[in-house]
Structure 1
Amino acid sequence: MDMHEHRRNRLQALIEDNYGGDRKTFCDASEMSESRLAQLLSASYRDGQGFGEKAARSLEGRLGLSFLYFDLLATGESAAQELYQQHARTDARTDESIRILQVKLKLTAGSARFKSEEVDPTLCVWRFSKSWFKERHLSADKLLAISVTGSSMAPALKDGDVVVVNTADTQVKDNAVYLINYQGEAVVRRMALDFGRWYLSSDNISRKQYQRQEFNDKKDVVIGRVILMASEQI
């Protein structure tokens, strides 16, 4: 099996596992035309050599996948593994730290899926040792940093603050703070349980301007729980 065939198999498995085998859904998420996807999956297009290095790296970036996702686990492909390790060594410091990316999100109302685009850090670079992740049972690929907009969560969180969100933690708990896909907009709110109903609550005491909204689990989606924050305003 050559690398092009291996990439095709990895891509097909990704579509089956993460997108229910629906090519249109995958194309929407990756901003790729269905005809281009067909080329990548074709064993005859360009004599089976159509899923090249540039295409693989570009697709990994658009989907937020790890570097060399489509190349890894190829039988006998030690070169790909070595390149991945070299990339990891370049990105890591002497304490083998891992960086959490700051991103901006593109959401669709009611959808649990989201697209993320890396942006330059606004307050700090989030970087932690592997032991830090292990001790807290966190997975680096499930964490993202995002800038807070508006004053709905003041004084706890102010406009321009940056928070780290654990997208693996979507189980709602009373009084915990979450990043929510609320009608297609990314909002940070404190969840409040009141007489069996969940509400998105603001910390800002101006209730006239920041009224709580009832959480609709059929329309609203919990992206993840806020676990860290950085602020220049103390």
Structure 2
Amino acid sequence: MADRTLSDPRARLLELSQERGVSLASLSELLGRNPSYLQQFIRKGSPRKLEEQDRATLARFLGVGEEELREAQENSYVKPLQRETGEWVVVPRLDLGASAGPGRVAGGEAAFDTFRFSRRWLEEQGLARAELSAIRVEGDSMEPLLNDGDEILIDRAPRAFRDGIHVVRVGDTLMVKRVASAGPGRVALLSQNLAYPPVEVAADEVEIIGRVVWKGGRV
């Protein structure tokens, strides 16, 4: 039986490989990966989640539904959580912070409170079709644009990428940065505070959670 201390998709993948009598190394090679790829995924949590194409390939080979290999809360940051009630749109405040410093390991993403915004105001701001969540800023690397403790609205509606201020996840680290193209297959994560140097990474290492479209904070 699989080790139930593992997160569900990792435990299920290990269990299925044992039931089918196929090694993790063989399954890794099926994906065109190095032989230790799935072993690292299960035991070390790297990568944090399987790519969609890899998950689909494994599910077909193992004869199970793809959902069995998906995290229970996978993509929870991008699910449309806001609710509409008449003239008001209720936007959840998520119990996490996006670091404006070196980076913060993502914690829980449950809504612990809500904001209510006028539907008319959202329309005036061009946000009528937005899928909004509110989170707080932590750190000073985006000052003076965003300050420690500010609340920001992120629009998680799927759109073509364009340069701007985004909440992103790199590995398990959640941060708010200005994201700009840096050549083919590369992006730059830029801070407003010049004390923080730019960071350039491969585009496939960055998950865009949402575009920052509004901020609020104490004066």
Aligning the two structures, in what range does the TM-score lie when normalised by the shorter sequence? 0.5 to 0.7
TM-score scaled by structure 2? 0.54
C-alpha distance in structure 1 between counterparts of 2:90 and 2:133, whole Å: 10
Are 2:91 and 1:100 aligned? yes
Larger % of strand: which?
Answer: 2
Partner of 2:139: 150
Which amino acid in structure 1 is aligned with residue 167 of structure 2? L
How far did residue 173 of structure 1 move? Answer: 2.2
Are 2:119 and 1:130 aligned? yes
Contact 1:201–1:212 under 8 Å retained in 2: yes
Partner of 1:4: none
Unpaired stretches in structure 1, ≥5 consecutive residues: 1-18, 32-60, 68-87, 107-113
Partner of 2:19: none
Larger % of helix: which?
Answer: 1
Of 203, 225, 231, the residue aligned with 2:211 is 225
Deviations 1:192-219 (A, max 9, x none): 345565200000121xxx2211132221
Q: Secondary structure at the match of 1:24?
A: helix
C-alpha distance in structure 2 between counterparts of 1:169 and 1:101, whole Å: 18
Are 2:66 and 1:22 aligned? yes
How is 1:191-202 mapped onto 2 (pairs within 5 angstroms)? 191-194=179-182, 197-202=186-191
C-alpha distance in structure 1 between counterparts of 2:81 and 2:150, whole Å: 27
Contact 1:170–1:222 under 8 Å retained in 2: no
Deviations 1:114-143 (A, max 9, x none): 9731123xxxx5322334445525346x21
C-alpha distance in structure 2 between counterparts of 1:191 and 1:139, whole Å: 22
Compute the RMSD of aligned alpha carbons: 3.5
Which amino acid in structure 1 is aligned with residue 67 of structure 2? R
Which amino acid in structure 2 is aligned with residue 190 of structure 1? R
215 and 170 in structure 1: CA distance in 2 versus 1, 3 angstrom threshold = farther
TM-score scaled by structure 1? 0.51
Unpaired stretches in structure 2, ≥5 consecutive residues: 1-54, 57-64, 98-106
C-alpha distance in structure 1 between counterparts of 2:108 and 2:66, whole Å: 17
C-alpha distance in structure 2 between counterparts of 1:133 and 1:198, whole Å: 30
126 and 65 in structure 1: CA distance in 2 versus 1, 3 angstrom threshold = closer
Partner of 1:180: 168
162 and 117 in structure 1: CA distance in 2 versus 1, 3 angstrom threshold = same
Which amino acid in structure 2 is aligned with residue 181 of structure 1? R
Contact 1:155–1:204 under 8 Å retained in 2: yes
How is 1:207-226 mapped onto 2 (pairs within 5 angstroms)? 210-226=196-212
222 and 131 in structure 1: CA distance in 2 versus 1, 3 angstrom threshold = same
Q: Secondary structure at the match of 2:204?
A: coil
Q: Percent identity over the alignment?
A: 27
C-alpha distance in structure 2 between counterparts of 1:185 and 1:217, whole Å: 15
C-alpha distance in structure 2 between counterparts of 1:126 and 1:228, whole Å: 13
Deviations 1:84-105 (A, max 9, x none): xxxx8xx84xx62011111035
How far did residue 170 of structure 1 move? Answer: 4.9
C-alpha distance in structure 1 between counterparts of 2:194 and 2:208, whole Å: 23
